[in-house]
Amino acid sequence: MVGNQSPPILPVKKKPYLRPAFEIFRRPGPPAMPGRTPWGRLREMASTFLDKILGRNSEALQLELACEIVEFGRMRTTTYGEVVIIEVPEVAYHFRESPRHVRQSLRLLEVKGVARRTTSPDHWRLIA
């Protein structure tokens, strides 16, 4: 630069606008699980309503699901007496039940002393 000359102005290159990918805004987890999408929540509410009206989730069905949950927990253990953490969404997806029914069965197991609650509502401790 000689004298009072300013540096040359270079043209600014702008980046083209890219639309945001909608996958970033979705919640984690498989979309087929009830409660994860608005339609899933609506389906779960309708299922809960019908269960209350028709009385489909009787004590016998809860006990049957509770036995299946215990067997599922035993399948995941390697030694006897090991504590197994059960995830409610995983078990609900595995047995094609609503998370509400799984929690009711886990509460039944809690009364019998086979399951215990953790700090998370979706995780339960099974004592195999």
Query: Does residue 80 fall inside a structural domain?
Result: yes
| Residue at 46 is within a domain | no
Which pLDDT score is estimated for 50? 77
69: number of Cβ within 10 Å:
25
Q: What's 124's domain CATH number?
A: 1.10.10.10
Residue ranges making up the domain that contains 123: 57-128
pTM of the model as a whole: 0.55
Q: Cα separation of 29 and 25, whole Å?
A: 12
Examine residue 66 and state whether it is found in any structural domain, yes or no. yes
Q: Please give the DSSP secondary-structure letter assigned to residue 20.
A: P
- What does the block give as tokens for 75? 């399948």
What is the reported pLDDT for 16?
A: 74
DSSP labels for 27-61? PSS-TTSTTSSHHHHHHHHHHHHHHHHHT-S-HHH
Per-residue pLDDT tens over the stretch 40-64: 778 878 877 777 777 665 777 888 8
Q: Look at residue 12 and tell me if it is in a domain.
A: no
Tell me if 24 is assigned to some domain: no
Instruction: Count how many residues are written for the chain.
Output: 128
- Residue-wise pLDDT tens digits, 84-123: 888 999 999 998 888 888 998 999 999 998 899 999 888 9
Q: Count structural domains, the chain.
A: 1
Contact 98, 52 (CB under 8 A): no
- Whether 29 has a pLDDT exceeding 60, the answer reads no
